[in-house]
Chains A and B, each alone.
Chain A
Amino acid sequence: AQSVTQLDSQVPVFEEAPVELRCNYSSSVSVYLFWYVQYPNQGLQLLLKYLSGSTLVESINGFEAEFNKSQTSFHLRKPSVHISDTAEYFCAVSDRSGGYQKVTFGTGTKLQVIP
């Protein structure tokens, strides 16, 4: 069975400051890892993903995440946040349990950017 832990339910940060949203996972097999973002009253949007290869993955809007197998982590970072980054962020993990493709989501971290 796979699981995802996002320890921080809310993260307040001042505009233009750096931020890290933490994600830890558990799985007995190789995993794929994802970060999704949810803006108010909208569905989730894929932000970035790790499938294989380079452990550092980047999104088009300045976020990056690093896969750390030894620490079973996939933390999301941004060096300088903007007001528009205020949203809820979900980490997700998937393996090939049962031969079908299912994704398990964390409980989410609300990023509040303070002007």
Chain B
Amino acid sequence: DAGITQSPRHKVTETGTPVTLRCHQTENHRYMYWYRQDPGHGLRLIHYSYGVKDTDKGEVSDGYSVSRSKTEDFLLTLESATSSQTSVYFCAAGQGLNYGYTFGSGTRLTVV
């Protein structure tokens, strides 16, 4: 969806390095989310934001941090990448549950 842009689309990084993934929305949605998608696990929530500078942990938040300094941007940082964080990462945004979520196209991250 053109309203949610994730960058980069693909990244290969080395174990132990920090990595930041960016999510940018043009829809002015209040809520933003970071999920990871792994075979057999579906989508698991990492962190979410319910407003500028307001964030909270999801079910798999260990090793990840987020920041939201502007409504349109939600950053996900892997503080020290590990091979277990190799995954496809999706950002989503929504204005409320009545509307469902809009998803970005994903970032495929490989940690070697």
> Which A residues lie at the B interface, using CB under 8 A?
6, 9, 32, 34, 36, 41-46, 49, 51, 90, 94, 100-108
Contact = CB atoms under 8 A, between A and B. Distances in A.
Interface of B: 1, 4, 31, 33, 35, 40-45, 48, 50, 56, 58, 90, 92, 94, 96-98, 100-106
Given A42-B106, A100-B50, A100-B56, 14 more contacts: A41-B106, A44-B92, A46-B101, A46-B102, A51-B97, A51-B98, A101-B31, A102-B45, A102-B48, A102-B58, A104-B45, A105-B44, A106-B42, A108-B42
Contact of A101 (B1, B90, B96, B105): B96
A106 B31 CA distance: 20
A46 B100 contact: yes
A34 B100 contact: yes
B42 A43 contact: no
Contacts of A107: 40-42
Contact of A105 (B42, B98, B105): B42
A42 B105 contact: yes
A103 B101 CA distance: 9
Chain B at the A interface: mostly helix, strand, loop or mixed? strand
Contacts of B45: 102, 104
Contacts of B102: 46
B35 to A, nearest CB: 8
A32 B103 contact: no
Contact of B94 (A101, A105, A108): A101
A43 B48 contact: no
Contacts of B4: 43
